[in-house]
Structure 1
Amino acid sequence: MADSLSPECTPLKQEYDSCFNVWFEGYLSPAISPSATDAQRTAHYQRKAKEFEDKCGKVYKEYQACLQSAVKQKGIEPLLQQAREEHPLREPLPPATPSSKDS
């Protein structure tokens, strides 16, 4: 795992990364039947979101607070804001379809 933006945030980053990796491994494990209803799938993913919050939420918030402080201390905040304004996050683009040139 890589170091954080700021050395004082690295222990929190490592703790969060470890927590997330363990949680994500369980998230990827098939836990519901392929024939599950939409309601069952929704309930499953809501349980997984709560599980993440219960297991990793506190350290995630601590790490984010540390990062925000480091961003301010390093004077990066205006650059991040400029990047957000120039390239705002939008809905994902639909998958590309092969063009006639590719055929």
Structure 2
Amino acid sequence: MNSLGDDCTELKKQYDACFNSWFSEHFLKGRHDDSLCAPIFKIYQDCVKRAIREQKIELREIDSDINTGEKEQQKPDHTKS
């Protein structure tokens, strides 16, 4: 899957590869220090934040959509006896 911004896709791939390696080689063996991928994640995160600003995506709208979906899923089902 590509990243939100085209400029960020390569960074996403690098972070995904780092995370997958860390998860299988460290986390699953009980070593939970995640500092190995932190520098790559920070660069990728900054790129995504920049893409969000450039594309004028309002995070409040996204949060609202998510919250609405959660509320709809939590409505009681009155069809059951």
Aligned match of 2:24: 25
Runs of 4+ in 1 over 3 A off after TM superposition: none
> Aligned AA for 1:6?
G
CA distance in 2, matches of 1:83, 1:68: 14
Aligned match of 1:73: 54
* Equivalenced residues, count: 67
Secondary structure of residue in 2 paired with 1:75: coil
CA distance in 2, matches of 1:71, 1:83: 12
Q: Does 1:57 align with 2:38?
A: yes
CA-to-partner distance for each residue in 1:27-49, whole Å, 9 max, x for gaps? 124x4xxxxxxxxxxxxxxx51x
Q: Which entry has the higher C-alpha Rg, 1 or 2?
A: 1
| Structure 1: runs of 5+ lacking an equivalent | 32-46, 88-100
Q: CA RMSD in A?
A: 2.1
CA distance in 2, matches of 1:83, 1:8: 22
Instruction: Assess, with a 3 A threshold, how the Cα gap between structure 1 residues 84 and 10 changes in structure 2: closer, same or farther.
Output: same
Secondary structure of residue in 2 paired with 1:24: helix
Identity over aligned pairs, percent:
36
Aligned match of 1:10: 9
| Structure 2: runs of 5+ lacking an equivalent | 68-79
Secondary structure of residue in 2 paired with 1:15: helix
Aligned match of 1:93: none
CA distance in 1, matches of 2:2, 2:63: 24
TM-score under structure 2 length normalisation = 0.70
Q: Does 1:83 align with 2:55?
A: no
Secondary structure of residue in 1 paired with 2:15: helix
